[in-house]
Structure 1
């Protein structure tokens, strides 16, 4: 029974990786019609409405008093608000490849934070597997021509802050897994994202005097189709999956599926965008997958675990 439950959890984590992997493709298509700030506003407005309407109609019971709201809001501030906010401004002075390099370090940040805040223990093999997965993503990015040479200190700081926010989000969800349901946490996350990014977009348009053109992207079917994927699958469904899986497995293990999502995005680019598949993509993919399998491999025996903890 326990083995079957674990297979289900890892299957959902794999589905999460596939969804976020394809999100890069749909986001790229949506950005043809709008800018990053408006895209985030549209994305989380639709995500919020999808969850809020059944709650308002009484079909879904939220069960969150004011005190509980205040406790979950930090999760929503970390992800999506701070994660996407820092990332968006970081991308103004860096490149998407550089952002990918820094985001690939998420499992390392998560490993450290989970150890400090949750006292999650890892073996030497698992630590090696984490760095193997991170190395796979960085290898692909580096061989693709990305580097951080010449990148401004401000850009690096923003991208690191974005990565840190994503890591801390995973740790907090893991910490409060027994107190709130995945739906409750997802609802608050989408609410915070809607408020923050709608405010940013409307303020930006009001300052520029372009409020009349806010809804222009909706005249294009390609934008609507991309938005539906990003808002419904990549925001609502992926957040529900992430919050559920984090209630079942350690935070650092779940964070590796973010890197697996990078591999999925490469496959999607090759299959649907005509991107070239190079040898370094294959090598990097093997490192990523090897890292994921290494971390989620056979559990240690109690005696072995004790010896490793004593050894530090």
Structure 2
């Protein structure tokens, strides 16, 4: 039974990585029509509306009270609120390549936090594998070429805080999924994302005197299709998938799948945007995949279980 749950968790983690990986294509499309802040506001509005439909129709019953909301609030503040907010403001000052390098370190922070707060222990081979995966991402970005800006310090700080926020979410969600159902957790996270980004967007429009432009992006069919993908699949469904995966596998093992998302984004760019596939993409991809496999399957428990299984099979044959 445990093995079955683990398999489902890994399937959820891989599906999560694929959805997030393709989301960058849709983000690029939305940003041709709307500002980053408006995109986030509309994204989580769509997400919250779709999450609320089964609740309002009585198909799903929420089992939460005010105290539960307060308990879940820190998780939702780390992700999606702080993660996306720091990421957006950071990207104003640094390139996406620089941001990609910094965010590739998230699994390292997750492993450190998980060791201290969850008492999760990893083997030496797992640590090496995680570093291999992170190095694969950094290697690809460096080979593509990085244009460092002299005034990018504040952007680096914001992206760094974004990475810390996501690492904190990975660890906190691991604890929260033991106490609350996936539906309750995901709904509250979505609701807080909806409130956070809409308040920020409305304040921004009010200060600029552009409230009349708030819904203007929906006049574009391309924006509507893209924002539905981002709101339903890339926000709501991925929250369910990541929360489910974190309820079954260690935080450090789940976090390394964020590097797989980076790889999926690059593959999508080659397929759909006709970007050129270089030799360093293949080398980096191999490093990322080997790192993910090693991080998830080279822990002492799994190795010992495999050895025990082989010894047991040998006894039966003898």
Q: Which structure 2 residue ranges, 5 or more long, are not aligned?
A: 306-318
Looking at structure 2, the residues matched to 84 and 201 of structure 1 have their Cα atoms a distance apart, in angstroms, of 13
Shift of 1:304: 7.8
Query: 2:147, 2:114 → 1: CA distance?
Result: 29
Distance 1:149 1:304, change over 3 A: farther
Q: 1:161: Cα distance to partner?
A: 0.4
Q: Would you say 1:57 and 2:57 are equivalent positions?
A: yes
Q: 1:112 to 1:207 in 2, by over 3 A?
A: same
SS at match of 2:87: helix
Structure 1 residues 113 and 208: alpha-carbon distance in aligned structure 2, compared to 1, 3 A threshold: same
Task: Provide closer, same or farther for how the CA distance between residues 302 and 8 of structure 1 changes in structure 2, counting only shifts above 3 A.
Answer: closer
Relative to 1, partners in 2 of residues 1:302 and 1:58: Cα closer, same or farther, differing over 3 Å?
closer
Taking the TM superposition and a 5 Å limit, the aligned residue runs for 1:173-188 are 173-188=173-188
- 1:308 aligned residue: none
Length, aligned pairs only: 305
The CA deviation at 1:56 is 2.5
Q: Structure 1 residues 232, 287: CA separation in 2 closer, same or farther (over 3 Å shift)?
A: same
- 2:125 is matched with 125
Instruction: Report the TM-score, using the length of structure 1 for normalisation.
Output: 0.94
Which residue pairs with 2:20 in the alignment? 20
SS in 1 for 2:248: coil
Question: CA 1:303 to 1:60, structure 2 compared with 1: closer, same or farther past 3 Å?
Answer: closer
What is the distance in 1 between the residues matched to 2:116 and 2:148?
Answer: 29
Residue 154 of structure 1 deviates from its aligned partner by 1.4
Aligned equivalents of 2:302, 2:5: Cα separation in 1:
22
Task: Quote the RMSD (CA, aligned, Å).
Answer: 1.6
1:1-312 alignment, distance < 5 Å:
1-146=1-146, 148=148, 150=150, 152-300=152-300
Distance 2:298 2:102 in 1: 29
* Conserved 8 A contact 2:86-2:161: yes
Between stretches 44-53 and 132-141, larger displacement belongs to 44-53
Cα deviations by residue, 1:26-79 (Å, 9 ceiling, x for unpaired): 111111111100000000011111112321332211110110110001111100
Residue 309 of structure 1 is matched in structure 2 by none
Q: CA, structure 1 residues 33+291, in 2 after alignment: closer, same or farther (shift >3 Å)?
A: same
TM-score, with structure 2 as normaliser: 0.92
Bigger mean CA offset, 137-146 vs 290-299: 290-299
Q: 1:151 to 1:182 in 2, by over 3 A?
A: farther
Looking at structure 2, the residues matched to 221 and 188 of structure 1 have their Cα atoms a distance apart, in angstroms, of: 29
Q: 1:289 to 1:274 in 2, by over 3 A?
A: same
Q: Partners of 2:102 and 2:151 in 1: how far apart?
A: 12
Deviates more, 1:260-269 or 1:142-151: 142-151
Give, in angstroms, the shift of residue 297 of structure 1. 1.5
* CA deviation after TM superposition for structure 1 residue 104, in Å: 0.3
- C-alpha spacing 1:179/1:150, structure 2 compared with 1 (3 Å): same
Q: Counterpart of 1:296 in 2: which secondary structure?
A: helix
- Give the Cα separation in 2 of the matches to 1:283 and 1:158: 29
Provide the C-alpha distance between the structure 1 equivalents of 2:146 and 2:18, rounded to a whole number of angstroms.
24
Question: Post-superposition shift, 1:299?
Answer: 4.3
> Helix, strand or coil for the counterpart of 2:59?
coil
- What's the offset of the Cα at 1:2? 3.2
